[in-house]
Chain A
Amino acid sequence: MSDVSPLEAEVAKLIVRTLTLKLDPAQIQPEEPLFGDGLGLDSIDALELSLAIFQSYGHQIRSDDPDIVATFASLRSLCQSIEKHRMK
């Protein structure tokens, strides 16, 4: 898929592996909602995913970040947040 950035492809794999989703990472649409109606992830997933992101990129997600809702909105926005805050 040409409209998926390398980081997006990498994080999609991380999501599928961390949350044991039965899904081809390429099936995650970059703009699709991750939580609720989209992939249907919940707060336990958010916590697991935040840990995996911390371990891979050194970025710590927090709820009182004004961008928190945007961060988890989609794969694309999550990657933008990682790009902005990553330490490794």
Chain B
Amino acid sequence: MNRAALLGLYHADRVLAWENGRSMTYGRFLSDVEALADQLPEKPTVINLADDRYRFLVGFAAALVRGQTTLLPPSRAPGALAQIAREYGNSYCLVDGTQHVDPLPSYQIPKGTGSPTDTAKVPQIPIDHPAIVAFTSGSTGSPHPHFKTWGSLVAVARSTGVRLGIKTSDQMTVVATVPHQHMYGLEASIMLPMQHGMAFHTGRPLFPEDVRSALAEVPSPRMLVTTPLHIRACVTTRSRLPPVECIVSATAPLASSLAKEAETLFQTRVYEVYGFTEAGSLATRRTVAEDTWQVLDGITLHQESAGCSLRAPYFREPVFFPDLVSLQGPHRFVLHGRGTDLVNIGGHRGSLRDLSQKLNEIEGVQDGVFFLPDETGTAVTRLIAFVVAPDKAAEHIVSALRTVIDPVFLPRPLYLVPHLPRNETGKLTREALRELLHGLQNKERHGT
């Protein structure tokens, strides 16, 4: 059976993680993984809820060593976790605090008591082992699972590193503002470092001052893995970041004017990574220099009657783009816009159809729909909901929604309306909803 090493490169003394200025080496990491792997229960799947990036990785690696699959729940909302727990009832949770998903048993990931062993062997993981399951919103209302093999995660990490020009001798350190439980965060802040002998900061800075101090806590060269929102925050506050070799942005389109400001202000290179759950990271661009996206090595683009598809040795079958793209040969494409159903709010992906379905399941809701308003380019665009619910208050519906969807998708605002502008076939067009919104906003402005 073909295997790929857990680590792209192993020196016991090399630093893997930085926490409050303290370092944890690759040697200690392997002994932590070995110790935890021995204690894990005999179960096929695990939900790893660790907030600390190092402890998450120890749990993830220990699960790999034991041949287990890590589930990445689509959100931390109690309802979403409960649904995964129901569908994967033979799972357990790995935690580093008081997190808990009823009724699954929880196991603590220890704070690292292992002492480094020089003789440690780097585990070899079968490339076709399903390392993780990421979820997208399914049309039936239950999350649709996407199995990612260990081989595909390794391939994406390697080709991304090559594209970004990372050399293992650089010993670059990643500081990430994104959660490691989502695909982009897992790929860029966990897999990328593991496969290139890099290090990472264990925290997840939020405010520009947090980003600055996290970067200052780690040695140069540094890489910042983040989103357009965080970049805008750092640029707006004229943050005095320590030297950063490169900034990697994903989850939403980055305006090239903002990329340019960031490059000038922080004396760095800004790259965007494009991907989606079904394919993982698949293309990059240097935002200030190019409009087109270049796919990672090993991926090819194909125009098919059903749309544009991607092929790679690690895809079982061609994967189709959820967004609107046009191809420029087999390796480059232009991204024209989001698909009509999938939305990405602050790095969280959701399906409007799925969100609307959850809305319609709420007691007292007769009809309802989620709507993504046109982007204004100033702030993160939030979803809006139009709801027909004669006997309910908007607050009541929002609190019911809070238990079943990720909070980032909660409508801002939720409008109660007498009826939805469905056409004769019962369809709600984007145009009709846009008009409805304009009408409601005009009314608000005139205070009637």
CB within 8 Å for A63 and B210 given contacts A21-B413, A44-B380: yes
Residues of A contacting B230 with CB < 8 Å?
A: 47
Distance A1 CA – B218 CA, assembled complex (angstroms): 49
Residues of A contacting B415 with CB < 8 Å?
A: 22
Distance A31 CA – B210 CA, assembled complex (angstroms): 27
B207 touches A62 (CB 8 A): yes
A22 CB contact (under 8 Å) in B207, B209, B413: B413
CB distance from B414 to the nearest CB of A (A): 7
B207 touches A60 (CB 8 A): yes
Interface string of B380-403 (1 = CB under 8 A from A): 101000000000001000100010
Residues of A contacting B380 with CB < 8 Å?
A: 44, 48
Interface string of A57-74 (1 = CB under 8 A from B): 000111110000000000
Distance A38 CA – B394 CA, assembled complex (angstroms): 15
A51 at the interface (CB under 8 A from B): yes
Distance A18 CA – B410 CA, assembled complex (angstroms): 16
A2 at the interface (CB under 8 A from B): no
Residues of B contacting A64 with CB < 8 Å?
A: 210, 213
A54: nearest chain-B partner, CB-CB: B237
B346 at the interface (CB under 8 A from A): yes
Distance A40 CA – B415 CA, assembled complex (angstroms): 17
A55 at the interface (CB under 8 A from B): yes
Residues of B contacting A46 with CB < 8 Å?
A: 206-207
Q: Which of A31-88 contact B (CB under 8 A)?
A: 40, 42-44, 46-48, 50-51, 54-55, 60-64
State the interface size on chain A (CB cutoff 8 A).
21
A40 touches B402 (CB 8 A): yes
B303 at the interface (CB under 8 A from A): no
A47 CB contact (under 8 Å) in B207, B394, B407: B207
A9 at the interface (CB under 8 A from B): no
Distance A46 CA – B209 CA, assembled complex (angstroms): 13
B185 at the interface (CB under 8 A from A): no
Residues of B contacting A62 with CB < 8 Å?
A: 207, 209-210, 213
B412 CB contact (under 8 Å) in A19, A43, A51, A55: A19
A47 touches B229 (CB 8 A): yes
A43 touches B413 (CB 8 A): no
B415: nearest chain-A partner, CB-CB: A22
CB within 8 Å for A22 and B412 given contacts A40-B398, A47-B233, A51-B236: yes
Distance A22 CA – B210 CA, assembled complex (angstroms): 30
Interface string of A3-23 (1 = CB under 8 A from B): 000000000000000111110
A21 touches B407 (CB 8 A): no
Interface string of B198-222 (1 = CB under 8 A from A): 0000000111111001000000000
B209 touches A44 (CB 8 A): no
B237 touches A44 (CB 8 A): no
CB distance from A42 to the nearest CB of B (A): 5
B406: nearest chain-A partner, CB-CB: A42
Residues of B contacting A18 with CB < 8 Å?
A: 379
B408 at the interface (CB under 8 A from A): yes
CB distance from B75 to the nearest CB of A (A): 11
CB distance from B1 to the nearest CB of A (A): 42
B236 touches A43 (CB 8 A): no
Distance A50 CA – B229 CA, assembled complex (angstroms): 12
Distance A42 CA – B207 CA, assembled complex (angstroms): 13
Residues of A contacting B346 with CB < 8 Å?
A: 44
CB distance from B423 to the nearest CB of A (A): 27
CB distance from B232 to the nearest CB of A (A): 8
B206 touches A43 (CB 8 A): yes
Which of B230, B346, B414 neighbours the largest number of chain A CB atoms within 10 Å of its CB? B346
Interface string of B221-235 (1 = CB under 8 A from A): 000000001101100
Residues of A contacting B232 with CB < 8 Å?
A: 51
B382 CB contact (under 8 Å) in A20, A51, A60: A20
Residues of B contacting A20 with CB < 8 Å?
A: 379, 382, 412-413
B179: nearest chain-A partner, CB-CB: A43
B236 touches A54 (CB 8 A): yes
A42 touches B206 (CB 8 A): no
B209: nearest chain-A partner, CB-CB: A62
B413 touches A48 (CB 8 A): no
CB distance from A59 to the nearest CB of B (A): 11
A-B contact pairs, 10 of them (CB 8 A): A20-B413, A22-B412, A22-B415, A40-B398, A44-B380, A51-B236, A60-B237, A62-B207, A62-B213, A63-B207
A-B contacts besides A47-B230, A62-B210, 7 pairs, CB < 8 Å: A20-B412, A21-B413, A50-B233, A51-B237, A60-B209, A62-B213, A63-B210
B residues near A (Cβ < 8 Å) are 205-210, 213, 229-230, 232-233, 236-237, 345-346, 379-380, 382, 394, 398, 402, 407-408, 410, 412-415
Going nearest first, the 6 A-B pairs with the smallest beta carbon separation are A22-B413, A62-B209, A44-B346, A63-B210, A42-B407, A20-B412
